[in-house]
Structure 1
Amino acid sequence: MTSATLWYANRATGAVSLVLFTLVVVLGIAVRLRGRIPGLPRFGTVSLHRTLSLSATAFLALHIALAVMDSYVNITLTDVLIPFIGDYEPLWLGLGTVALDLLLAVLITSLLRERIGYRTWRALHWLAYASWPVALIHGLGIGTDAGTDWMTWLTITCVATVITAGGIRTATTLLRPAQGAH
Structure 2
Amino acid sequence: SQDYDSLLFGAKTLIRNLTVTGKRKLPNKDVYVEVKPERIDLDQVLKTLGITREQLIDIAILIGTDYDPEGIKGVGPKTAYRLIKKYGKIEKAVEAGEIPKREITFDVEKIRELFLKPEVITPSEPLEMGSPNDEEVIAILVNEHNFNEERVRNGLDRLKRAMREAKGFSRQTGLDQWF
Q: TM-score, normalised by structure 2?
A: 0.21
The structure, 1 or 2, with the larger RCO (C-alpha pairs under 8 Å, 6+ apart) is 1
Q: TM-score, normalised by structure 1?
A: 0.21
More strand per residue: 2
More helix per residue: 1
Which is higher, the Rg of structure 1 or of structure 2?
A: 2
